[in-house]
Amino acid sequence: MSIHPSAIVAPGAVVPESCTVGPFSTIGPEVVLGEECRLISHVVIDGRTRIGARNTFYPFSNIGVAPQDLKYKGELTETVLGDDNTIRESVTISRGTVGGGGVTRLGSHNLLMTCAHVGHDCHVGSHVIMANAATLAGHVILEDFVTLGAFCPVHQFCIVGAHAFIGGGTIVTQDVLPFSKTSSRRENKAYGVNAMGLERRGFSPERIKALQKAFRLLLVSKLNTTQALEKMRELEGEDVALLVRFIEKSERGVIK
């Protein structure tokens, strides 16, 4: 086990021999690390936190720290991370609250760039990219393969659908359509299908064309949302069906 002499590992913490704990890092007594994790230096991991294998934490990242919620009174809540995540400098991930389900969860194969923030009770999927200073307020859901641009704040209780791409500086106050490109120029708008991202992930031309047809009904036609959904239900493909279900279940409304 490689633990720098200046690091502090509390009694009770589980740190496998394959892990590396760099200078001035602090690991709390209820932390469980998976195999081959790397804490480069000045990393704080606190609270009841379970971390999978092969995660890398860069300097000044803070994981499992108390939520920034005035209602939190020290209750036993959790933070859970999957495998193969890269957590860059000064990233903060707050543990959950009793009122929000008690768990903040991050999947696997995610990249959180410098100064990104994951608030209490957020659920982040896998293969997600949060660019520099992207921030999630409490209770946010990011589904798989989301790309969140730099300096994007996401409002409480919003859901960002799978494969969505959000341009830098966009203030997200409603749910973001799966498969969409959404950005803020003068106002927040969805700009159609994230075709390039879907191609990179192996979507066939037929799947992309079906989604483009659905997005034209939703965004370009003169139909209102209810009328567009009726037409979209007539289209074939599980991707379109997923899009329809997402809109039907949205409580905050979706960005169109």
State the pLDDT at residue 155.
97
Classify domain 2-142 by CATH number. 2.160.10.10
Numbered ranges of CATH 2.160.10.10 in the chain: 2-142
Q: Please determine, for residue 191, whether its predicted confidence score (pLDDT) is greater than 70.
A: yes
Which of 121, 144, 175, 239 is flagged as catalytic?
Answer: 121
pLDDT in tens, 210-254: 999 999 999 989 899 999 999 999 998 999 999 999 999 999 999
| CA–CA dist 153, 221 (Å, integer) | 30
pLDDT in tens, 30-45: 999 999 999 999 999 9
pLDDT in tens, 43-88: 999 999 999 999 999 999 999 999 999 999 999 999 999 999 999 9
pLDDT in tens, 158-189: 999 999 999 999 999 999 999 999 988 656 78
Which of 117, 120, 139, 163 is flagged as catalytic?
Answer: 120
Numbered ranges of CATH 1.20.1180.10 in the chain: 197-249
Which of 52, 64, 138, 192 is flagged as catalytic?
Answer: 138
State the pLDDT at residue 185.
66
User: Domain 197-249 is of which CATH architecture?
Assistant: Up-down Bundle (1.20)
* Average pLDDT over all residues of the chain: 95
Judge whether 120 counts as a catalytic residue.
yes
State the pLDDT at residue 182.
92
Burial of residue 12, with CB atoms counted within 10 A of its CB: 0-12 exposed, 13-18 middle, 19 or more buried: exposed
Give the model's confidence band at 142: pLDDT under 50 very low, under 70 low, under 90 confident, else very high.
very high
